[in-house]
Structure 1
Amino acid sequence: MNIYALRFSDDGQGVAKRLEFKADDLNAALVIARREAGRRNAELLKGTTRICTIRRPSGMVPPHSPSVHCVPI
């Protein structure tokens, strides 16, 4: 198992925070990250390495929003 983290900024949708979780691989981490990010943008990290930035399309909220876009760094 690998340790991943989601890093959220103070963005008006919630406070700055860091959420650590375990996942078998990057695919599993992205599934967890999508669920945990909700309506917020977040950075996905593996250890100290930033993997990507998760962004929701502006103006759309669940359950009507399309998939999260993971923007590689």
Structure 2
Amino acid sequence: MDPETDRLISQGAHFLGVTKKDLVAEAVRMYLEQRREELKAGMVEAMRVLDGSLRSDVALLTGLTVEEIDAVGGIDE
């Protein structure tokens, strides 16, 4: 984490009377809760891409389409 962010966390934790760890944990929970729909959309898209094949795993991990993978020689399943 960059020094400025660490400084903000330290100050926030101090003035709220909590540990840095607790502040970060609560902040992450709140952030993810606020972005729940985006998170859900990303998970749904990942599940749509995955079909149980190695090719779909590679596509998800690399960001390549199945067609792009096939164009460069494909994957032996």
Which TM-score bucket, shorter chain as reference?
under 0.3
Which structure shows the higher strand fraction? 1
Taking structure 2 as the reference length, the TM-score comes to 0.20
Bigger relative CO (Cα 8 Å, ≥ 6 apart): 1
Which structure shows the higher helix fraction? 2
